[in-house]
Amino acid sequence: MSTPSPTPPPRLPLDCDPGHDDAIAIVVAARHTDLLGITTVAGNAPLERTTRNAIIIRDLLGIDVPVHTGAARPLVAEPKHADYVHGESGMDGADLPEPSGPPASTDAVGFIIDTCRAEEGVWLVPTGPLTNIALALRAAPDLADRIAGISLMGGGTFGNRTATAEFNIWADPEAAAAVFEYGGPLVMCGLQLTHTFQATPERIQRVRDIPGRLAGVLADLFEFFSGTYVSRHDNLRGAPVHDPCAVLALTHPQLFETYEAHVAVETRGRHTRGMTVIDQRRLLERPTSNCTVVDRIDADAGFAVIDEAIAHFSR
Ligand code: BDR
Ligand code: CA
């Protein structure tokens, strides 16, 4: 049995760039949130591939949730992808079905705005570059006061794409800077957290032992994802399963330790563009916190939630 999620569940669109770990984030969101839609952005792979992958995962789950496709490129930066981690397709490693059809629209930003204007208290959960979210906040500044907050995967106390910058922030630093300055509640699941949440061989085997097609596909995806990470690092036994943390931080907050801090996004530094600068000085007079930094997870309990969610949809 996994830990129960809060009631009522958070209502949210998930904004993602699948991506192996984005796929797991979709599964957890489908199980433990009121998932209002899936929006896609270019990131791990070009937009048409991340959109295709999102539709395939949605189809495998058998859920009635629209997929809207969004920004094909960052606000300012040159488009760069992460095939060295996720493969050319963005989700290499499994025998995937064809998507059931096209996305519901090509206006993810409009969908996010309409969804947040339709009711108060919607969460935004981005697990890719922050382009769609920044464009929505720019076009509809009223969203800042209407949403419950933004829970994102990105940043942290060290980098992966560069020594200082995590991929999602590095891929569109100008969008990230706008999001970190938007003024409402912000939850950041960065690399110092997600690198302790690894898809080890034992955890992948537990997914493989779950009956049904979805579990088999996800076990294959986990294996590819872990393979690329383990082959490129000397301190990992499996891929950090980054993206579900941004969902779990809302649905299972009891699994995490957090602290409040002011976080800025560096957009100019030669060595630091895309870095999240976390002010950890314990000054009595310090900048007001704009961010809940999610710092630690009970990894076994987190994977139990993932396993249960996969088993729920796998048939
Ligand atoms: C982030 O970048 C992508 O490769 C993953 O999907 C995750 O969102 C980790 O840096
Ligand atoms: Ca992602």
| Per-residue H/E/C for the chain | CCCCCCCCCCEEEEEECCCHHHHHHHHHHHHHCEEEEEEECCCCCCHHHHHHHHHHHHHHHCCCCCEEECCCCCCCCCCCCCHHHHCCCCCCCCCCCCCCCCCCECCHHHHHHHHHHHCCCCEEEECCCCHHHHHHHHHCCCHHHHCCEEEEECCCCCCCCCCCCCHHHHHCHHHHHHHHCCCCCEEEECHHHHCCCEECHHHHHHHHCCCCHHHHHHHHHHHHHHHHHHHHCCCCCCEECCCHHHHHHHHCHHHEEEEEEEEEECCCCCCCCCCEEEECCCCCCCCCCCEEEEEEECHHHHHHHHHHHHHHHCC
Position 183 in a domain: yes
Q: What is the pLDDT of residue 315?
A: 86
Instruction: For 78-113, write each residue's pLDDT tens digit.
Output: 999 999 999 999 999 999 999 999 999 999 999 999
- CA of 2 relative to ligand 2 center, distance in Å: 24
Pocket test for ligand 1, best of 242, 245, 276 (most atoms within 8 A of CB): 242
| Contact predicate 32/253, CB 8 Å | no
Q: Which residues surround ligand 2, an ion (CB under 5 A)?
A: 17, 19, 22, 127-128, 243
Q: What is the pLDDT of residue 263?
A: 98
Position 6 in a domain: no
Position 130 in a domain: yes
Type of residue at 68: H
Tell me which residue of 208, 245, 230 sits closest to 24, measured CA to CA: 245
Position 244 in a domain: yes
Position 5 in a domain: no
Position 158 in a domain: yes
Pocket test for ligand 1, best of 167, 170, 172 (most atoms within 8 A of CB): 167
Question: Catalytic one among 242, 252, 262, 312?
Answer: 242
CATH (domain of 137): 3.90.245.10
| Contact predicate 145/246, CB 8 Å | no
Q: What is the pLDDT of residue 1?
A: 45
**pTM value > 0.95:** yes
Q: What is the pLDDT of residue 122?
A: 98
Rounded-to-integer distance, Cα 89 and Cα 175, Å: 24
Active site residue 20: no
Tell me which residue of 153, 175, 171 sits closest to 109, measured CA to CA: 175
Q: What total number of domains does the chain contain?
A: 1
| Mean of the per-residue pLDDT values of the chain | 97
Q: What is the pLDDT along the chain (315 residues), one digit of tens a residue?
A: 455 566 799 999 999 999 999 999 999 999 999 999 999 999 999 999 999 999 999 999 999 999 999 999 999 999 999 999 999 999 999 999 999 999 999 999 999 999 999 999 999 999 999 999 999 999 999 999 999 999 999 999 999 999 999 999 999 999 999 999 999 999 999 999 999 999 999 999 999 999 999 999 999 999 999 999 999 999 999 999 999 999 999 999 999 999 999 999 999 999 999 999 999 999 999 999 999 999 999 999 999 999 999 999 998
- CA of 44 relative to ligand 2 center, distance in Å: 7
Position 147 in a domain: yes
- CA of 3 relative to ligand 1 center, distance in Å: 25
Position 253 in a domain: yes
List the domain range (segments joined by +) for residue 78.
11-313
Q: What is the pLDDT of residue 265?
A: 98
Q: What is the pLDDT of residue 7?
A: 77
